[in-house]
Chain A
Amino acid sequence: MKENRIGVYICHCGGNISDYVDVNKVKEAVENDEGIALSKTTIFACADSNQKEMVEDIKEQNLSGVVVASCSPKLHLLTFRSVSERAGLNKYNYVHANIREQVSWAHSDDKIGATEKAIQIVKAAIAKVKLAEPLEPITVPTVNAVAVIGAGIAGMRAAIELADAGSNVILLEREFFIGGRIAQFDNLCVSNETGKELITRLYNEVMSHENVTLYTGAELVETSGSVGDFKIKIKVTPRYINSHCAKGELQKAIDVCPVKVPDEFNFNITDRKAIYHNYPSEYPQLPVIDMKNCTRCGECEKVCSSIDFSQKEKIIESNVGSILVATGFDPYEPEVGEFGYKTIENVVTLPQFKRIVHYAKDKLLYKGKLVRNIAYIYCVGSRQLDGENKYCSRYCCTSNIYAAITAKKQFGNINNFHFNRGIRTYGKQELLYDESSRMGDIYLQSFEDLPPTVESVNGKTVVKINDYLTGGKELEVEADLVVLVTGMVPRKDNSIEKLLKIPKGRDKFFNEIHMKLRPVETVIDGVTIAGACQGPKNIMESMNSALAAATKSFSLVDSGELAHEPIVAIVNADNCTYCDLCSQACPFDAIQMIEYNGKSIAEINNSTCKGCGMCIPVCPTNALDLTSFTDKEIFSMIDAIANHS
């Protein structure tokens, strides 16, 4: 058995500990214990000067293990591990004892009791360090490639960044055309750019990178493996049109197609054919045949040689080190009858209004009638009193005010009435609100529990409100068009969420680990999130999160290997009978069944195991243990505490 030469440091934490714990008494209680080579108190163990002293102590005294009794290991475990390493001692021969959060801060009313508890905790740490084994980090090789799910603005921006930095990128878009929601926007606020221009810019940049492979009509259907090396399967639906074709012929094919279906790209305010493209932002510049609605009449084939119904669905397999999810949002779809939606003819949503303005020429017409008075009803689908969506959708106030100003400038003679619940044009967006007020837009605010109403009266659409700003007076506006300012909701299609097991927050958007510390990471190692799939965002905010997520994903795949904590579960093959209880208890899918010496046993995947210990207590044959927290170590700690008290 090795000779123990243990160094113990008791930290005052500048009074944080020593005001309530008698640190000298703690030192005295342990200094004569077996195996203790040195014990000291220190004002601030983490101070540079003390760290240097510790390094010298470890070297000079040839220490075999170190204990620092100080604050939470969350704060300084890594600090003192690195001290040990610098002194040539394996960092897993360092044990941290928390006598601040667990002792002095918790028991500031009982100094004697606090000191006793600190002694027990330090004795337990000494017991553990005596049994501690030197360990080496587990390294796993990483594939320098990232799968980006979703080729909207966030996904494309992340793809460009990753490619610039030097990773290979597989960019997947479920739709046949890239650009996501921004493709449906015209002028974008705080710039003179249109959605189409922004998307064109990003698309051209994506296509100029040799290390980005874009798949459209593509869905992620299967993943396995873990951070550093995910195996992914992609299903690619064909366009049924060969890429090389004469444009004139294709237009003829579209013209002759007899099928008419509502055009989702235009939020159903127009129709499209079964062979179609998303005017105006059509990237890749090749139409597609929508097989769900195609009747296979063959008319298109007659006029166009590049139609090819023999194209088959393809499955592509690849390996990536990280997966960046940028699946975006859906606009809230109001219930039938919600503020007259689908029950009163001239009630539309904000996304529909934008498409209506897009198609209008010099006059704003809706269903053939001239539009002069527009009533905008805010917070539809957001900040719901009764519904599930308690959150604010963040972008809609600004987006709507901008749309209203744009319509007024473009068509003149428009009266805008904003039925709002308190305008949230935060930051510099305030200037738009100011501009709209100066242009004569009317703002009416409803009471929180008394939303405005939309009624059809003698063929006229009337919006009524009890206006907060005029002492609750009932006011009404006869509107030619009612625009429901709909917010953002998570995508209806939840296939990615199910496949990758990304947790969702209260608002049902994807959840980050920590809003401030790890805002683009999920609890699934190697899976990052960007853009509005994480919560409502405007374009700039989506871009920031896309770039941040790209940085994170890149840092995971760039170095060629990842080092994991070697604190993982271990299986005793002799005891294991593979009952499967451990794998059911594992939250990380890190346990598999393997055949070993003619029997089935559990095997731990060291790159996914987090060392959480959930599997240990469920094992009926005691075949599992955890490195650095072995049963032996834990029992010795309990003994140390029990023996002292």
Chain B
Amino acid sequence: MENHYKELSYDVLVVGGGIAGGEAALNLANIGYKVIIVEKELSIGGKMILLSKVFPTLDCAACITTPKISEIDRHSNISIFTSSEITKIEKKAEYEFVAIIHQKPRYVHIEDCTGCQLCEEACPVNVEDQYQYGLVGRKAAYIPFSIASPRVAAIDIENCTLCGACERACPTSCIDFTQTDEYFRLKVNSVIVATGFKLFDPLKIPRYGFDRFKNVITSMQMERQLAPTRPYNTILRPGDGKMPDNIAYVLCTGSRDKSVGNPICSQVCCMYSIKQAQLLMGALPMADITIYYLHIRAFGKGFNEFYGQAQEMGVEFVKGKVAKIKSADNGNLFLRYEDFEDGIVKEAEHDMVVLSVGILPNMGIDDVFDGEDLNLDEFNFIQQSDPLASPAKTSIEGVFVAGTASGPMDIPDSILSSGAASAEATSYLRRIKS
């Protein structure tokens, strides 16, 4: 095995190609460092590239992300490894890290694929589309999503029947089932961990009925319904395809909730829900939107004004904790909640419910460190060793953290934290000379 490793050498390894990792990589590449981004998904861009519009400016997320992504992609100092995972990072000495990259086969030669999608048409297999959060299906030979980078096909080998239809359809013969796993041994001087977050799984709160009731969806599913590359080209409730006209948001789903082991606030759900409410009022002008909240955390620049704007537009804000959701025969939903203003338990009917799910750490990155420990905080986010003076520093010198890997934060804060991580990495690298 050992001698199968291909050797690579860069100045900095960035683990995670979301908006935080990408920004950190760009900062470093722009001052001349050679950077490698290792991304486990098929495309870089992380969660942000899948969003609709972003608060509080209502910029289209794709319009911000794609130019950034193409800048990263064409930067001569940046190499990108997609569908790749870091399996080990060992600190040999100061400024000397050795990492092992495991690149899974895509079964497509990236350089030759034109993204023509003929393979998609030819493929007979239908499975759930993970990038549309299960709202629609995709093929086993597929382009991850329309603005993916690289925008090339991949074969989902677990679901592929090896029928060969895609191979025959491909005009550039870029599909190659003989591809195998590849391993690289990577030498770098510094590491930036930008592994992002995962969303709370609402199945952990069975009383909200997610999955059992088709018209209860997550906020990320609503995000996809609102995005320019949306699957239905309008807003539909998945249960029966009806256009909803009375939508409820349940804030703090999986946040500020000790019963699911997450006592902290996720920092973004209030604002993205308010944003979605505003977008929904544009998409469905007759619809009523009600947001059930505990406290509205509209704290950032322009956030409180954005909250005020939603109130003026007619979004209903109800201070109350939703206890349980029941379904009626027609697919409508009954929310049982404690109304704080009146101090009594009430019930309200809505025809669609959006669970504003919180932010949880992406686990596992600490396990790949060999020798020195990468410390986590009590919530399993990466611990900042000096949060006030050097927020990007971790327990390992030379390893820095960017974005939501250290805790919940919104996009502007993630970008700033990437600035911090790249700054710290720069001064760490400068010390090699002295």
Contact = CB atoms under 8 A, between A and B. Distances in A.
Interface of A: 14, 43-44, 46-50, 74-76, 78-79, 82, 157, 161, 164-166, 188, 190-191, 193, 198, 201-202, 383, 390-392, 394, 422-431, 434, 468-472, 505-507, 509, 515-517, 519-520, 534-536, 539-541, 543-545, 547-552, 554-555, 558-559
A541 B416 contact: yes
Interface stretch (B160-168, B240-248, B263-271): B263-271
Q: Which 4 A-B pairs have the closest CB atoms?
A: A548-B419, A164-B427, A547-B420, A547-B423
B67 A424 contact: no
Interface stretch (B78-86, B125-133, B213-221, B404-412): B404-412
A46 B388 contact: no
Residue from B57, B391, B430 whose CB has the most chain A CB atoms within 10 Å: B391
B336 interface: no
A190 B301 contact: no
B147 to A, nearest CB: 10
A157 B70 contact: no
A540 B422 contact: no
Contact of A544 (B112, B172, B420): B420
Interface of B: 27, 30-32, 54, 57, 59, 64, 66-68, 70-71, 74, 110-117, 146, 150-152, 172, 256, 263-267, 295-305, 308, 319, 340-343, 377, 379, 384, 387-392, 407-409, 411-413, 415-420, 422-424, 426-427, 430-431
B415 A44 contact: no
A166 B427 CA distance: 8
11 contacts: A49-B113, A49-B114, A161-B423, A164-B426, A394-B300, A426-B299, A427-B407, A506-B305, A534-B301, A543-B420, A548-B416
A392 B304 contact: yes
A422 B295 contact: yes
B419 A520 contact: yes
Given A164-B431, A539-B388, A544-B391, 20 more contacts: A47-B113, A74-B67, A79-B74, A164-B427, A190-B387, A190-B388, A424-B299, A425-B265, A426-B297, A431-B263, A506-B302, A509-B301, A516-B411, A536-B301, A540-B391, A541-B416, A544-B419, A548-B415, A548-B423, A551-B27
A76 B71 CA distance: 9
Contacts of A74: 67
A391 B304 CA distance: 5
A424 B302 contact: no
B27 to A, nearest CB: 5
A433 B299 CA distance: 16
B419 A430 contact: no
A469 to B, nearest CB: 6
A385 to B, nearest CB: 10
B399 to A, nearest CB: 16
Contact of A193 (B115, B304, B388): B388
Contacts of A552: 419
A430 B265 CA distance: 6
Residue from A46, A188, A423, A551 whose CB has the most chain B CB atoms within 10 Å: A551
A79 B411 CA distance: 26
Nearest to A546: B420
A544 B115 CA distance: 39
Nearest to A473: B343
B215 to A, nearest CB: 29
Contact of B115 (A14, A75, A470): A14
A165 B430 contact: yes
A431 B262 CA distance: 11
A429 B115 CA distance: 46
Contacts of B303: 391-392
Contacts of B70: 46, 75-76, 78-79
A46 B295 CA distance: 46
A519 B416 contact: yes
Contacts of A391: 301-305
B298 A392 contact: yes
Given A165-B426, A422-B295, A543 B390 contact: yes
Nearest to B266: A427
A543 B389 contact: yes
Contacts of A507: 301-302
A595 B308 CA distance: 56
Given A46-B70, A520-B419, A552-B419, A544 B299 contact: no
A423 B342 CA distance: 19
B424 A516 contact: no
B308 A540 contact: no
Contact of A547 (B117, B392, B409): B392
Nearest to A49: B114
Nearest to B113: A49
Contact of B31 (A78, A545, A558): A558
Given A392-B304, A515-B412, A541-B416, A471 B297 contact: no
Contact of B424 (A50, A468, A539, A547): A547
A165 B417 contact: no
B256 A519 contact: no
Residue from A165, A430, A549 whose CB has the most chain B CB atoms within 10 Å: A430
B297 A424 contact: yes
Given A516-B59, A539-B388, A469 B420 contact: no
A555 B301 contact: no
A58 B98 CA distance: 42
Contacts of B59: 516
Contact of B389 (A165, A198, A472, A549): A198
A516 B426 contact: no
Contacts of B150: 48
A637 B336 CA distance: 64
Contacts of B423: 161, 165, 547-548, 550-551, 554
B432 to A, nearest CB: 12
A193 B390 CA distance: 14
B77 to A, nearest CB: 12
B151 A547 contact: no
Nearest to A50: B114
Contact of B299 (A75, A394, A468): A394
B388 A188 contact: yes
B112 A157 contact: no
A314 to B, nearest CB: 32
A390 B416 contact: no
A443 to B, nearest CB: 10
A148 to B, nearest CB: 14
A430 B264 contact: yes
A545 B416 CA distance: 5
Contacts of A201: 389
Residue from B64, B263, B304 whose CB has the most chain A CB atoms within 10 Å: B304
A166 B67 contact: no
Nearest to B341: A468
A191 B388 CA distance: 8
Given A545-B419, A547-B392, A551-B423, A426 B267 contact: yes
Residue from B302, B319, B426 whose CB has the most chain A CB atoms within 10 Å: B426
A511 B27 CA distance: 21
Contacts of A536: 301
A392 B271 CA distance: 13
B389 to A, nearest CB: 6
B423 to A, nearest CB: 4
A154 B322 CA distance: 42
Contact of A157 (B32, B389, B417): B389
A75 B67 contact: yes
Given A44-B115, A161-B423, A541-B416, A390 B308 contact: yes
